[in-house]
Amino acid sequence: MITTSALQVRFDGTPALHPLDLELPAGRIYGLLGRNGAGKTTLLSALAGFRKPSAGTVLLDGEPVFENLRNTTRICLIRDDGMVGDGTDNLRDILAMAAMLRPTFDAGYAAELLDRFGLSRRQRLGALSRGQRSAFAIVVGLASRAPLTMFDEAHLGMDAANRQLFHDELLRDYLAHPRTFVLSTHLIEEQSPLFEQVLILHEGRLLLHCDIDDLRERGVSVTGPAQIVDDFVYGLTVLSQRTLGPTKQVTVFGGLDDERRALAGTYHLELGPVTVQDLFIHLTGGVP
């Protein structure tokens, strides 16, 4: 269980994270969403003990995180810079170092992942491409088998196939070795199928914390003839709309009551799920 109470982080007096109270039960995959500058990286840094909170507390299983060896060795945060070692070191040496430093590190699993991502042990970290560096950082993160593993935009620069491999491996290893994952990402639609719960940060504050299914139920897509759809959604909060010939699809915020659902059936309108990204954009202020 991760618990924060009144957690604050300020940079030179400017608040990056306003007092934040969180309770994240263990053994789930959390999606951490937020626009640029929302405070995602700051929050993750505080959770990992990379940064001392300006005020408030961060606890993992009831014990402080910052400078507490019992907890820091149980936490792994892979950041978007992908730097998990010295740029002049080769990947084999960095994995050997990780095995030396982290009690839960699984060197065998790391070797397996290295092969799956097509990385050579002899390559130097600094010589890797952006995507390869991200892939290697993900290898280190997954093989850490840390009870709390967090990825902060760790997929940057990775191609679609490797991102898919990352998702598949994360799920496979999560099922085999249940632990807590926190994934911070801007690739909302791509990664949201992994999430069990979602946290949305906005301007340094927690805007939303709920099950991903509950979030999806906060919106509905309505598809049908353009004029009928327009009449149907009149008075509702429209998140987005698309028109293809005579057909229109409108995404609305908020659930539909039984009466309106029956009305949709009467007019042969198709009701469907809404994308998490559409809801996220709406909840965080819409498209500028």
Partner 1 sequence: MRRFPIARFLLSTHLPFLAIVLPAMYLLVGVIVAVAVLMRGPATVSGVDLSGQVLHWLAVGYGYSAPGLLGTMLVHGRTRREFATQHPAFQLVTAVVLAALITGVYAVEAVLYRAAGWTQAMQPDRPFEAGDYPMIFVANLSMLAIALLTGAFVGVALYRRTATGALALLPAAALLTYGGAAHGYFSLPFAQGAMQSGPALLAVTAAAVVIGWALLWAYARDVPLGNKVPA
Distance in Å, CB of 119 to partner 1, minimum = 17
Distance in Å, CB of 272 to partner 1, minimum = 36
Contacts for 230-236: CB closer than 8 Å, 24+ residues apart = 232/260, 232/263, 232/264, 232/267, 232/269
Query: Which CB sits closer to partner 1, 84 or 113?
Result: 84
Helix %, strand %, coil % for the chain, to 5? 35, 30, 35
Distance in Å, CB of 73 to partner 1, minimum = 4
Distance in Å, CB of 158 to partner 1, minimum = 12
Query: Which CB sits closer to partner 1, 34 or 85?
Result: 85
Q: Outline where 102-176 has alpha helix (H).
A: 107-116, 130-143, 160-176
| Residue where the block lists tokens 């001392």 | 52
For residue 224, what are its two tokens? Answer: 């049908």
Residues of this chain that bind partner 1 (CB under 8 A): 41, 45, 49-52, 67-69, 72-77, 79-86, 93, 97-98, 100-103, 130, 144, 146, 156-157
Query: Which CB sits closer to partner 1, 76 or 239?
Result: 76
- Asked if residues 239 and 282 have their Cβ atoms less than 8 Å apart, the reply is yes
Residues 6+ apart with CB under 8 A from 55: 6, 7, 8, 19
- Asked if residues 125 and 153 have their Cβ atoms less than 8 Å apart, the reply is no
Query: Which CB sits closer to partner 1, 61 or 81?
Result: 81
User: What is the bridge-based pairing of β-strands 75-78 and 148-152?
Assistant: parallel
Distance in Å, CB of 14 to partner 1, minimum = 15
Distance in Å, CB of 113 to partner 1, minimum = 17
The whole-angstrom separation of Cα 175 and Cα 97 is: 27
Query: Which CB sits closer to partner 1, 98 or 212?
Result: 98
Distance in Å, CB of 283 to partner 1, minimum = 26
For residue 153, what are its two tokens? Answer: 């935009």
The whole-angstrom separation of Cα 253 and Cα 65 is: 38
Residues 6+ apart with CB under 8 A from 205: 18, 20, 39
Query: Which CB sits closer to partner 1, 86 or 115?
Result: 86
Query: Which CB sits closer to partner 1, 39 or 82?
Result: 82
